[in-house]
Amino acid sequence: MKYLLALIVFVTGAYFYPQIIESKGGPCQAFEAKLTGEIGGQDQNAGLLLGLASGVSNGELGKQIATREYEGLPSGLACVRAYYTLNKDNIRL
């Protein structure tokens, strides 16, 4: 029973961690924030455009990118997985 409780706490923490660290309201918004930060570090113009787009989209841009990458998952879980597996060397500008 205590292992099940520990697993539930771990999974819940892993789901909400991106939202808390990025200070955003949802996992897709947190993924957008991380993506914007990574791209902004590589190319300032692309980072500026993505920052403007993510400010307007309110999580929809991150949701589209994550669900395209992980089609079999619901959008919230796809955004969390994309947040953890974002490879800054593999970002296409």
Record the tokens describing residue 74, joined without a space.
């619901």
pLDDT at 93 over 60: no
Domain ranges of the chain: 2-90
How many angstroms separate the CA atoms of 20 and 23, rounded? 5
Which tokens is 50 given? 């993505």
Predicted confidence (pLDDT) per residue in 10-28, tens digit: 999 999 999 988 888 889 8
Tokens 């990458």 map to which residue? 69
DSSP secondary structure, 19-50, as one string:
HHHHT-SSHHHHHHHHHHHHHHHH-HHHHHHH
Pick 49 or 75 by higher pLDDT: 75
**pLDDT of the residue at 61:** 82
Q: Is the pLDDT of residue 41 over 70?
A: no
| Cβ contact 9:30 at 8 Å | no
pLDDT at 37: 76
